[in-house]
Structure 1
């Protein structure tokens, strides 16, 4: 067996496997679209492509604005500490990721602690990091102490 035969086999075999690989890739893409809430698991077609791409663009815009706001607060914010005191699933999803309403007790150096309610996107694999009682470093917008970004 030559070098190219071994490479071909390492990457899924010969041309007989291409159709199976393409089908598996299409099924995986459909699963991701369903998990993100864009389809019911059925294929994207010409009939629903506009709706699917419109929702994807809307989610992109939400995620972009959310990230820009967090980055803005992190760049200008005063550093403090926080404790999560409540966590409630809002039922909202963006690109398949859940939004939570967090209640956070914020403490800045030399100031009394205060409470902030914050809407935060928390992917399922990170939910335990935001359990009630967890502590986080926080950045606080100097112009609006209720605008915070959890940084740890």
Structure 2
């Protein structure tokens, strides 16, 4: 056996040990854990019942995701429009009620807010707002937020803080 054969065998043995049965099981366990996380995310978003996306349900899941994307895009564009042209003011959240509707796993809330603009009397607005669960505590009753108000329709508002 020559020098290069010995080197080749040494690398082959080291590679076999590094990628042997134990490492293969770790990779398989990691892949399974990743799949379970993906299934959980799809279930939390409301796209599946927790089962993996398959060829049988891929078009249905894709259609639901696309519809949510379109709603979220339009919602974001409207908020950005109001922020860009809106008159600055402040608001106090009077109530926040979960409507039971979800989009991409995030709940929609019906908010009642008291809006105050400079030089005007405070007034109340009812608005539908998507609030991600991790930010819900920021929108508790009594919390104060900066707001932008559409000059053409004072009932259209967007939080800026």
Give TM-score scaled by structure 1 length.
0.88
Question: Mapping of 1:71-110 within 5 angstroms?
Answer: 71-110=80-119
Distance apart, 1:17 and its partner CA: 2.3
Distance apart, 1:14 and its partner CA: 4.1
Aligned residues: 142
- Tell me the residue number matched to 2:3: none
Runs of 5+ unmatched residues, structure 1: none
- Tell me the residue number matched to 2:141: 132
Q: C-alpha offsets along residues 39-67 of structure 1, whole Å, 9 cap, x if unaligned?
A: 11011111111111100111111111111
Runs of 4+ aligned residues of structure 1 deviating over 3 Å after TM superposition are: 13-16
Give TM-score scaled by structure 2 length.
0.84
Greater strand share, structure number: 1
- Tell me the residue number matched to 2:34: 25
Distance apart, 1:15 and its partner CA: 4.3
CA–CA distance in structure 1, aligned partners of residues 55 and 32 of structure 2: 19
Distance apart, 1:88 and its partner CA: 0.8
Distance apart, 1:126 and its partner CA: 1.3
Distance apart, 1:109 and its partner CA: 0.2
SS state of the match for residue 51, structure 2? coil
- Tell me the residue number matched to 1:118: 127
CA–CA distance in structure 2, aligned partners of residues 128 and 16 of structure 1: 42
CA RMSD of the aligned region, Å?
1.6
SS state of the match for residue 146, structure 1? coil
SS state of the match for residue 102, structure 1? strand
SS state of the match for residue 113, structure 2? strand
